[in-house]
Chains A and B, each alone.
Chain A
Amino acid sequence: MSGLGAVAEPSGWRLGNRSSEVFLPEEPRAAAPAGFLQELPSYQSALRRRAAGGGTQERRAAPQGSAGLRAAEAGGPEQEGGELPARPAREYPLTIAEKRRLSTFFSWVLNCCPSSVASEAGTAAAAYKDCQQADIKHLSGWKQWKRTSSKSLKKVLSEVKELSSYLKLWRHDIHSIEGKFGTGIQSYFSFLRFLVLLNFIIFIVMFSFVTLPSIISKYGIFNSSFAKIPPKNIEPHCTVYKPNGNKGLVYFYTYLKDLLSGTGFLEVTSLFYGYYTIDAAWFSVLRYNLPLAYLLATFAYLALSLLWIIIRSVEGFKQNLVHDEDQFQSYCNKVFAGWDFCITDPNAAQLKHRSLQYELQTDLEEERLKRKIADRTMKEKLRIYSLRIFINIIVIAVLSGCFYSIYRATVFSQENSSDVGNTNFQANLLVQYLPSIVITLANFIAPQIFSILIGFEDYSPAFEIRLTLMRCVFVRLANIGVLLFSLWSHISYCATDKCKACGYNYELYPCWESEVGQEMYKLMIFDFIIILGVTLFVDFPRKLLVTHCSCKPIQWCGLQEFGISDNVLEIIYGQTICWIGTFFSPLLPAIATVKYFIIFYIKKISLIHTRKPAAKPIRASSSNFFFLVVLLIGLVLAFIPLGISIAHIPSSKACGPFRSFNTSWAVVPDTINGLPTGLQQVLYGIASEAFAVPFFMVICLVMFYFVALAGAHKRVVEQLREQLVLESRDKLFLIRKITEAQSHP
């Protein structure tokens, strides 16, 4: 189809090297060698399509008057009967002048010319007119009104969209970053903006359903009050909780210490779980069940985060699924969509050229490597596999080392921070922050080790990057898990009978949820301090050194690259802490919002002044999807500790809204028992096995169906492609035969 369509082109055409040269190249436009070729339906439609596209020769050569008509003739891609979707004028690839003529032509066709003239002017115009007229005939008053209202609605929506694009946070900043550094780095900053919004919404949810009612009822505003029912059937020693609220004269540095570690005066504020020791709140005559609200708000913010992330990642997922190339993106994507047209800075353009060259060369090399790998002998394969197993063992050893050191650090910190007698400020603070410090060190060292180790494993470069990233993600998220695990083992460790009666270590942790909340708070603050510190004390001095000192080793070190994956893992780590910590510390999302807000500006300044963009770029599409997938992994991993805390570990009896319940989850069965019997039975039915097992089976069947459907579609596409190739070969063969027959009658 393609080769034939080019018959009339001035600079000639060429058949594939397969067939012999039937037609002379560079034949002048006037006479096509074989007359019948122009009657082929495929040629006609290709010509129409090219005229609609306004191939440059047509555009320049065509006299002004007829351009509009010809364009109208070429109006739609499908001509053979059927309804012609009349597209808005701007979707035609024409100049503005031609589009203007087209739309005036269409409105003339619609309004004044009779159908006969329209059909002469071209099937497209006629179909357009018929289409519009058919609509008008059937338009009753209702449909007319619907039509006009939908048009005005579209206008209103486009105005709203325009306005809302102004309200988008940091629109101008992100646009300028895109211009200077390309879309890969810009996707990082868009991701940061997304997290700011997400945290803000989570904060609103927790604040309005949990904090606000508590504060209102505690201060008795709006004629409200709260009820504090002492728990029944609980040993009295479990309910003793006296937080040290720093009353009286204390040294100033205690305030600083409390601010940084969440103890002292902060512990009794609404920042932590312990403040919400309310069993019910009364607003005039309405009873507000605070424990239930607390639990449901937690589920709500988790569900909201999950939904939002999934919605955002659907677009990238669709493309990744459709994209059937094996490892990374195909060459066509790299070449046709390679250049970022947003780049405005000549230096950035230079860098982009270099990175494109590097990327293309790497891919070509990788392809050659793949062919080499396919030719590997058995002996080499054995050697490589045993090497990989050995290196994986080393990786596991490194991970175990990290986990063990975190465990020891947490235990040490817990044991020594309860030693109140120690008034040495710095030492105390250091002990408090020991888990955070160890985690940060582990998060820094482990990725370096991994990137060295992967060099020995002899994978293709694409797979290397992925595997290192996966390992780093695992390290970061598992570190938090180990911290929580060591905390819990400490909390639930019960030696005496008295302790067993409470279910948790009541002496050390009368209000253990606040303790966990404090740990999460410390992690978050420390994370923020590290990011700030690294920018101030490492990046800027390095930049100063590189610009002013010209000795060889420093110049060879050069500026730091802006490693997108490292930065993304950093903020995902922070977000996971926020998700886990919000249950224990309802105001944590507000802190996270402010933290990410400030980090945006810090990273932007650091990027502009102290960094050079990465030589190996990550593509925008795959990076968006990758960020969201890792964020999703973080969220799912956050479910586990929350689930265990809510459902398994007994809630503390001395503080918090769940004092009268065995575990935090117990408030739900309790409320259900208070509902009317009919509703109760329905809910019990849903939770029973009789419902769950068939439901699970149905879901499996549906998934299997979709997987099979996707596989079938893929096969169909393959078959159609093959068919297309065969058809075109047949056509070329027939043309050759016919021309031979014509020339030797």
Chain B
Amino acid sequence: MGGSGSVLPRAELSEYQELTFLSKQEILLAYKRFSELLPKEERRDARTARVPKGRILTLPELRANPFQHRICRVFSTSDSGDDSMSFEDFLDMLSVFSDSATSDVKSHYAFRIFDFDDDGTLDRKDLEKLVNCLTGQGEESRLSNAEMEQLIQNILEESDIDKDGTINLSEFQHVVSRSPDFVSSFKIVL
């Protein structure tokens, strides 16, 4: 448990319930886990404190995730660009990854997570980095160049409707809406 003396006031709790897809229990659990990431002195103001990226990545739910850096980058609202997360960022993240989030919201954020160069489209380099994240770091776990070419060619053939060589948000959302596994795999539950 630790010394998390502060507790979420009820008004805040119901506001978070309105603004996210999380239930009351889930928000309280998130608060508890978030306060545990803070050093003891800061736990009183858990709602306004920011947790540095390194501490966030020690969470078991993110520790083994190959997209951990992208997730922190996408959900962090830090002005200094250090990808630190406040409690509301954390809640945002859990809300998008929760069971009850709409597929629309999920696919939107998935697009942003996969967009490694943040240019608003998924081009070949993004797709290549994405596949490398999936197969794991390390030389022997990467696909060969020919296989990568073939794979990216297939992906673009299936999802690039206007044939411009990149996948934009609407094309991505269209292809993901037909994907049966997306909603069940794009899920994190504390």
**Which residues of B lie under 8 Å from residue A191 when comparing CB positions?**
none
What is the CB-to-nearest-CB distance from B143 to chain A, in angstroms, rounded to a whole number? 7
| A93/B176 in contact, CB under 8 A | no
Q: Say yes or no: B134 contacts A337, CB within 8 Å.
A: no
**B36 interface residue per 8 A CB criterion:** no
Residues B1-59 near A (CB distance < 8 A): 15-16, 18-21, 23-25
Within 8 A of B (CB), among A55-112: 55-57, 59-60, 88-93, 95-97, 99-100, 103
Q: Identify which of A91, A319, A333, A353 contacts B105 (C-beta below 8 A).
A: A91
A280 to chain B: closest CB distance in Å?
52
- Cβ-defined contact, B64 with A345, below 8 A: yes
Q: List residues of chain B with CB within 8 A of the CB of A57.
A: 118
Closest to A365 in B: B147
> Which chain B residues lie closer than 8 Å to A367 at the CB level?
150, 154
Q: A99 CA to B16 CA in the complex, in Å?
A: 10
> Which residues of the other chain, B, contact A319 by a CB distance below 8 angstroms?
180
A336 and B168 contact, CB distance less than 8 A: no
In the complex, are the beta carbons of B180 and A323 less than 8 A apart?
Answer: yes
Most buried by A among B110, B141, B164, B170: B164
Task: Indicate if the CB atoms of A333 and B182 lie closer than 8 Å.
Answer: yes
Q: How many Å lie between the Cα of A57 and that of B123 in the bound state?
A: 18
A338 touching B180 in the complex, CB below 8 Å, given contacts A90-B18, A96-B19, A346-B63: no
B188 and A342 contact, CB distance less than 8 A: yes
Give the nearest-CB partner of A52 in chain B: B108
Q: Is A350 an interface residue (CB 8 A)?
A: yes
Bound complex: CA A319 to CA B114 (Å): 24
- Known contacts A95-B89, A322-B178, A336-B179; decide if A341 and B118 are in contact (CB<8 Å): no
Distance A13 CA – B109 CA, assembled complex (angstroms): 21
Q: Is the CB of A11 within 8 A of B188?
A: no
The reply to whether A360 and B162 form a contact with Cβ atoms under 8 Å apart is: no
The residue from A2, A15, A343, A357 contacting B171, defined by CB atoms under 8 A apart? A2
Q: For B114, what are the chain A residues with a Cβ–Cβ distance below 8 Å?
A: 336
Task: Specify which chain B residues have a CB less than 8 angstroms from the CB of A14 in the assembled complex.
Answer: 123, 164-166
Interface set, chain B 128-179, CB cutoff 8 A to A: 130-131, 133-136, 141, 143, 147, 150-151, 154-155, 158-159, 161-166, 168-172, 175-176, 178-179
Is the CB–CB distance between A361 and B182 below 8 Å?
no
Residues of A near B15 (CB, < 8 A) are: 100
A330 within 8 A of B: yes
Interface of B is mostly: helix
Question: Contacts A100-B19, A337-B185, A353-B136: A728 and B162 contacting too (C-beta < 8 A)?
Answer: yes
Most buried by B among A17, A18, A56, A337: A337
Interface contact B118-A360, CB-CB below 8 Å: no
B131–chain A nearest beta-carbon distance, Å? 6
A686 and B106 CA atoms in complex are apart in Å by 51
CB < 8 Å: which of A18, A99, A721 contacts B19? A99
- A305-359 at interface with B (beta carbon < 8 Å): 316, 319-320, 322-323, 329-333, 335-346, 348-350, 353-354, 356-357
Given contacts A15-B164, A18-B163, A162-B25, whether A357 and B188 have CB atoms under 8 Å apart is no
Once the chains bind, are A339 and B64 in contact (CB under 8 Å)? no
Chain A nearest CB from B94 CB (Å) reads 11
Q: Which residues of B contact A99 (CB under 8 A)?
A: 19
Kindly list chain B residues whose C-beta atoms are within 8 Å of the C-beta of A364.
147, 150-151
Chain B residues within an 8 Å CB radius of A330 = 158, 179
Contacts A341-B188, A728-B163; is A95 near B77 (CB within 8 Å)? Answer: yes
> By the criterion CB–CB under 8 Å, are B95 and A90 in contact?
yes
What 4 new A-B contacts, CB under 8 Å, besides A2-B162, A11-B117, A342-B185? A93-B104, A361-B147, A620-B181, A621-B184
A residues within 8 Å of B by Cβ?
A: 1-3, 5-6, 9-11, 13-18, 49-50, 53, 55-57, 59-60, 88-93, 95-97, 99-100, 103, 158, 162, 175, 183, 316, 319-320, 322-323, 329-333, 335-346, 348-350, 353-354, 356-357, 360-361, 364, 367, 619-622, 721, 724-725, 728-729
6 closest pairs, A vs B, by CB? A353-B136, A2-B168, A349-B64, A621-B180, A337-B182, A357-B135
